[in-house]
Amino acid sequence: MSTATYTVTGMTCGHCVGSVKQEVGSISGVSDVQVELASGKVTVTSESPLDDAAFRAAIDEAGYEVA
């Protein structure tokens, strides 16, 4: 298992958190996504090291940015 933590900007509500969880959770190999709205921290647990480009694409698709 591998864990990575990123900071995502632009989230303002529970719906934002849900969108990020859904998009990041759809990346192949991701087993868990934890989002802290107040800090913008997104912690991702995956079977192997997470592809940074895939994570950034998922965040972009959700409508937010990686800090």
Q: What pLDDT is attached to residue 43? A: 98
Residue from 3, 1, 11, 2 nearest 66 by CA: 11
Q: What pLDDT is attached to residue 64? A: 98
Q: What pLDDT is attached to residue 26? A: 97
CATH level 2 (architecture), domain 2-66: 2-Layer Sandwich (3.30)
For the chain (67 residues), the mean pLDDT of every run of 10, in chain order, is: 97 97 97 98 97 97 97
Q: What pLDDT is attached to residue 56? A: 97
Q: How far is C-alpha 64 from the chain's CA centre? A: 10
What is the three-state SS of the chain?
CEEEEEEEECCCCHHHHHHHHHHHHCCCCEEEEEEECCCCEEEEEECCCCCHHHHHHHHHHHCCEEC
Q: What letter does residue 45 receive in the DSSP assignment? A: E
Domain boundaries of the chain, sorted by first residue: 2-66
